[in-house]
């Protein structure tokens, strides 16, 4: 069974540029999560989807961040415009009927 797939794995952009991350969850998993992980810290939830509906986006900085999961499968997370402080690892996770979340390898973003 394929795990959670994320792309790209690494991205370097200049500040004020837009960037997008893509996530393909485990087949059949209805719940999808985006997390932000700063260096040396634990992941922090940005947004949670149940199918195509965003049920918890309270930690998503909506002035520059947006996310979508149009058909309830793949999801994209976008930042526009990026700031220096957005440099971090962006993790995607998915879960099925159990409480266990399965994480992708993450996208490491560097904003210069």
Partner 1 sequence: SQQGEEDPQALSIQEGENATMNCSYKTSINNLQWYRQNSGRGLVHLILIRSNEREKHSGRLRVTLDTSKKSSSLLITASRAADTASYFCATNAGNMLTFGGGTRLMVKP
Q: Which residues bind partner 1 (CB under 8 A)?
A: 4, 31, 33, 40-45, 48, 56, 91, 93, 95, 99-106, 108
- The least CB distance from residue 112 to partner 1, in Å, is 20
Of residues 5, 28, 7, 4, the one with CA closest to residue 107: 7
Q: Cβ of residue 11: shortest distance to partner 1, in angstroms?
A: 14
| Exposed / middle / buried, residue 16 (Cβ in 10 Å: 0-12, 13-18, 19+) | exposed
Toward partner 1, which CB reaches closer, 19 or 23?
Answer: 23
DSSP-derived pairing of the beta strands 65-68 and 44-50? unpaired
Which residue lies nearer to partner 1 by CB, 33 or 65? 33
């Amino acid at each position: 069974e394929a795990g959670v797939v994320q792309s790209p794995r690494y991205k370097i952009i200049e500040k004020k540029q837009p960037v997008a991350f893509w996530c393909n969850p485990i087949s059949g998993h209805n719940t999808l999560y985006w997390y932000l992980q700063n260096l040396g810290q634990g992941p922090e939830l940005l947004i949670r989807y149940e199918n195509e509906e965003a049920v918890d986006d309270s930690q998503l900085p909506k002035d520059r961040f947006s996310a979508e999961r149009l058909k309830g499968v793949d999801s994209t997370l976008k930042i526009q415009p990026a700031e220096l402080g957005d440099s971090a690892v962006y993790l995607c996770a998915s879960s099925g009927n159990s409480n266990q979340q399965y994480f992708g390898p993450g996208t490491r973003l560097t904003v210069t």
